[in-house]
Amino acid sequence: MIQLDEQKKMILETVRTIAQKELKPRAAEIDEKGEFPWYAVKVFAENGILAPLLPEKYGGIGAEYLLFSMIIEEIAKVCANSALILIAQADGFLPVLYSGNEEQKSRFLPPLANGSLSGFAATEPGAGSDILSMRTRATRKGDNYVLNGQKCFITNGSIADLLSVYAYTDPEKRAKGMSLFVVEKGTPGLTYGKNENKMGMRGSINSELIFENLELPPGNRIGEEGDGFPNMMKVLDSSRMFAASQAVGLAQGAIDEAVSYAKQRIQFGKPIAELQAIQFMIADMVAATEAARLLTYQAARHLDQQRKKEISKTCAMAKLIASDTAMRVTTDAVQVMGGYGYMKDFPVERMMRDAKLIQIYTGTNQIMRLVAARGILGD
């Protein structure tokens, strides 16, 4: 049992109210239209939860990772797209929070608590799981840098006000030659390709970014040259825990729908909830989700306690177990509801489509197994 103080309980209760009253009624519309939910950004900003991990001096609430995990979970129960707004926002600002100097943090971070959006730009057409194959380059021009290259599948890409962009400053050094830069919306040389048309998470914007002779001052480089790769790995560890939290929430939302339906649906003269076949399915769904939740909370605790030897391994395991669970649970929820579950009149078909992406982003689950194995065998 997780013990929360009164302030954290109050924050979570506020989040639940927002989720049920503001987000759930419009979740199907977001999916159907494939439009970014700007109203959700407004609601999050007005309630101080658009960037809760930020310290108070930068406009956040200084939330612990465990509390943020619970916030994501509550929102994902009703709308995975809206939960992804908070995840993408954190992914975009954590590179600066982790490695920026005080001047950079004070300059870049406060707007992100008040409605501006951020994005994490690493993936490229030829550099997904093999991120060291990145081709984006930042070359010196006097004191400035000139950025050239392309990114793809970037969450919030074409709508982000601030992008944390990874590029090689010395490609021959591979991991030790990668650096991190902040690119602000409207910078000359930044253009956008297509926004992707996705199977699920259709209310999230995923864009191509194109950098053509984009010039940046040295103040937009975060950390020293060559610091980009360790910064990226640290951010990805956190992001995997966020993805696990989203998956747990999504699974729980599907369970809630399936249980409610099973109690009301009459077949053979009684609710299908009284049929052993349905009972066994639901028991398995709940057991798997509870296990994924506890592993996710454990990963969040390791992040809060900065237990460096445990973080990468546990975040990877939480992400792979939780997302595999969400995929299985949402699929089973469709099965419990039969023909109705397959229809867009009920949310479980949307949840099933949304769950698939979590098995892929922030590192595929096959890569997560490699990360976990290295952590285990490395010990």
- As annotated, the active-site residues are 91
Altogether, the residues listed in the chain come to a count of: 379
Q: β-strands 221-222, 206-216: how paired?
A: unpaired
Element (H, E) at 222: strand 221-222
Angle CA(153)–CA(156)–CA(159) in degrees, nearest 5?
125
Give the CA distances from residue 69 to residues 39, 127, 182, in Å, rounded to whole numbers and listed in that order: 22, 28, 26
Strand partners, 359: none
| Rg (alpha carbons) of the chain, rounded to whole number | 21
Q: What is the DSSP string of 73-138?
A: HHHHTT-HHHHHHHHHHHHHHHHHHHH--HHHHHHHSGGGGTT--EEEE--BTTBSSSGGG---EE
CA end-to-end span of the chain, whole Å? 29
Nearest to 99 by CA among 242, 240, 220, 241: 220
- Cβ burial of 142 (10 Å; 0-12, 13-18, 19+) is exposed
Helix or strand or coil: residue 195? strand
Nearest to 30 by CA among 90, 91, 92, 83: 83
In the block, residue with structure tokens 């239209």: 33
Amino acid letter, 273: A
Q: β-strands 118-121, 162-168: how paired?
A: parallel
The rounded distance, in Å, linking the Cα atoms of 8 and 127 is: 39
The rounded distance, in Å, linking the Cα atoms of 249 and 162 is: 28
- Cβ burial of 316 (10 Å; 0-12, 13-18, 19+) is buried
